[in-house]
Structures are given as structure tokens and as C-alpha cells.
Structure 1
Amino acid sequence: MKNVINWFNLPSIDFDRAIEFYSTVLEIQMFRMPSPDGFENAFFSNPQDGGVSGAIGSNPQQKPSTEGTTIYFDVNGRIDEVLGLVPGSGGQIIMPKTNIGEFGNIALIMDTEGNIVGLHSAV
């Protein structure tokens, strides 16, 4: 089955701070690029590589929120390590590592911008 989700956007208040947070916590290199709305995006992965992709947006009309949809990042067996990086990077752990049975573990964090995002690990 093809993914029904193919894109997500996380709004930011301080674009550079948000990039630093996710680059550090997820241990990834983000790709900055202008967006069609005249602002800037920082991509979590190259959208041309296929699969689900997303970005941090710099549009001030879009506001971070603790309410609404929650996206989950696959942290591939590194949930404890990632949670250990969150507080020192300016984020907060909202829900600690929680076992969800045969599906692995999840946790919820608040990023530096005020967005609540999830972490998932199958192990």
C-alpha cells in the first residue's frame, strides 16, 4: 500500500533555532531552500528521494501548536539516545518512552518552537 501521507510542514518562530534543534536531536543534515510562498524551508530529507518528506517552514503566518495533528519521526532503535538530546537542545519531553506492545515504543516531545512531535522506534 502506498503511503497516504507524503508531506508535512512544521511551523517555526525562530527558523534557525528550529533547524539547529532537529539537526541535533535527529542527528541529520537539513537542506535549506526557498519556498514558493517567498519564505524558506529546511527539509528533513530530499523530497526527490521518494517516500514521506517534510520541512520546517519560516512563514510567520503559520504558528507552532501543541494541539492538532501529531507527526512521528522514526528514530530507528535510538529512542533513548534521541530523548537524551532533547532537553539540552532546548526541547521538552512531554511523554517519556512508552511501550506500545508489538509495535515498539513511542514518546512525545515539544520542540523549541512549541510544536508537539512524536518519536517512534520499532524496538
Structure 2
Amino acid sequence: MAQTFNVVGWFEIPVTDMPRAIRFYESVLGYTLHYQPVGEEEMAWFPWSDEGSGAPGSLVKHDKHYTPSTEGTLVYFSSPSGDLANELARVEQAGGKVLQDKTLIAEDIGFMALFLDTEGNRVALHSRG
């Protein structure tokens, strides 16, 4: 029998201003990020656990290899509060922009929303309620 696992093992969100990006994500999601310089890169890790679902990840600043974008891969954050409307309400006051309000995907899947972070990345939120 094949082992089941989440196919995403790690994600990285490009940033150009690490302190600003940390403030934004901490304000919107309510987490404390762990700042860690790694060689030529600056990273700020989102909290993670070895148990449960989802993939760990970080903000990353590296002038040569990382460029924020509204195109391409889309990262979905699970709503820490259980209702993404709570986190979405903090996006604009934290310096971002709501691109798509809370929208029902399907009854058995839940809701999603899109926002632009302070660095110019398109990011999504998901919740069941």
C-alpha cells in the first residue's frame, strides 16, 4: 500500500522588504514568524508542526533568485480563526489589498479569498466556514 502524504513539502513567498512582509503576515494571520538569515538569503519561517496537515514554509528575500509576483503559483493559507473573513478583514489595514472577497467554492470544500500582500504577491485564504 502506498504511503499517503501531502505533496507539498515546503513553500516560499518572495519578498523585497523583509521587515514589512513580516509585519504584514503577522498582522493578517496572527502568527509570529521566526526571522533567520541563511547565507545570502533572509528567511522568516511560518510556525509549523511535524503533526497535522499542511506544509511548512517561509518568506524569502534574495535579490537574485526571488521576485514577488501576481502570476504563477498560488499559496493558500488555512484560516487560523476558522473563518477567513476574520483574516481578510485585516489585509488592507496591514497594507495589502483584497482581490476577491470570501467566496464559496463548494459546500464540502468551503470558502476562499484572494489578496495582494505588501510585496506584490497574490495569495489566497481558505476556510471551511
Fold equivalence (TM over 0.5): yes
Residue type of the alignment partner of 2:96: G
Q: Deviations over 1:15-46 (max 9, x none)?
A: 110000000000000011122x4221000114
Q: TM-score, normalised by structure 1?
A: 0.92
- TM-aligned CA deviation for residue 3 of structure 1: 0.6
* Structure 2, gaps ≥5 residues long: none
Q: Percent identity over the alignment?
A: 39
Aligned partner (choices 10, 15, 18) of residue 15 of structure 1: 18
Structure-2 residue corresponding to 1:109: 115
Do structure 1's residue 91 and structure 2's residue 96 form an aligned pair?
A: yes
Do structure 1's residue 30 and structure 2's residue 30 form an aligned pair?
A: no
- TM-aligned CA deviation for residue 52 of structure 1: 1.2
* Structure 1, gaps ≥5 residues long: none
Q: TM-score, normalised by structure 2?
A: 0.88
Q: Which SS does the other structure have where 1:89 is aligned?
A: coil
Distance 1:80 1:66 in 2: 21
Distance 2:36 2:26 in 1: 15
Residues matched between the structures, number: 120
Structure-1 residue corresponding to 2:76: 72
CA RMSD, 1 decimal: 1.2
Highest Rg: 1 or 2? 2
